[in-house]
Amino acid sequence: MEILYEDGDLLVVNKPAGLLTVKTATEKTRTVYRILTDYVRKGSLKSRKQIYTVHRLDRWTWGVLIFAKSEAAMNRLKDRWAETKKTYIVVVNGHLKAKEGVITSYLAEDTRHVVYSTPNPANGKLAQTAYKVLKETARFSLLEVDLLTGRKNQIRVHMADQGNPVVGDRKYGDNTEGFERLALHSESISFPHPSRDERMTVEAKVPGCFREWVGAIPKTGE
């Protein structure tokens, strides 16, 4: 797991797909949180050093993930989280009718932990996903996605709602054989540093398998 940035307040890593951010009822040890806790303690079981979770990525999502090194730094980051800009690179099935736009719905979760869109604001939380098509191939589209809100499985649900599920996303409708990895990558996060009066941007390289699906990756923001 690559460390992208580290100082006295922050630890920012490039999370690989398949690794949980934090523990669950069924997985308590193989998590980013556990690995980084061991890292800051430098193998000392008696050390009281710890890290603090600022946000999470789905297990099968790749990319930039921020942890704080103190509770104070975590709280400062969360207090200004609305100022955070998160950009993703996504490969979806097929071609979208509108090549750029904002998808808006209210997201709810059923008892099977499947997230879905509902038209009723009383039954879900507002979710907004801005996207732009960067490239199209015969089978797929490469998108740059900006999360305007940060709901669970938001990009995956919104892409499925358009009829263009994320490549490798069995949970939300991609049943294509031969694509076992989720084509969803948190490429960059821009945020106010918790201690210094400056804005930081941390980026993670797009995984090589994305190029296997769509060829060369255009630079985002162009």
Q: Where are the domains of the chain?
A: 2-214
Q: What was the pLDDT predicted at 166?
A: 96
Distance CA 124, CA 117 (A): 8
Mark whether 197 is an active-site residue.
Answer: no
Residue that the structure tokens 């980051």 belong to: 77
Q: Look up residue 142 and give its amino acid.
A: L
- Catalytic residue, chosen from 7, 58, 110, 197, is 58
Residue that the structure tokens 């797991």 belong to: 1
Q: What was the pLDDT predicted at 183?
A: 94
CATH superfamily membership of 2-214: Pseudouridine synthase (3.30.2350.10)
Q: What was the pLDDT predicted at 99?
A: 95
Distance CA 38, CA 71 (A): 18
Question: Does an H or E element contain 209, and which?
Answer: helix 208-214
Q: What was the pLDDT predicted at 135?
A: 95
Confidence of residue 150 (pLDDT cuts 50, 70, 90): confident
Task: Kindly state the DSSP code that residue 73 receives in the 8-state scheme.
Answer: H
Percent of the chain residues past pLDDT 90, beyond the cut: 76
Dig out the tokens for 39 from the structure.
Answer: 């890292």
Dig out the tokens for 187 from the structure.
Answer: 């490429």
Residue 94, pLDDT above cutoff 80: yes
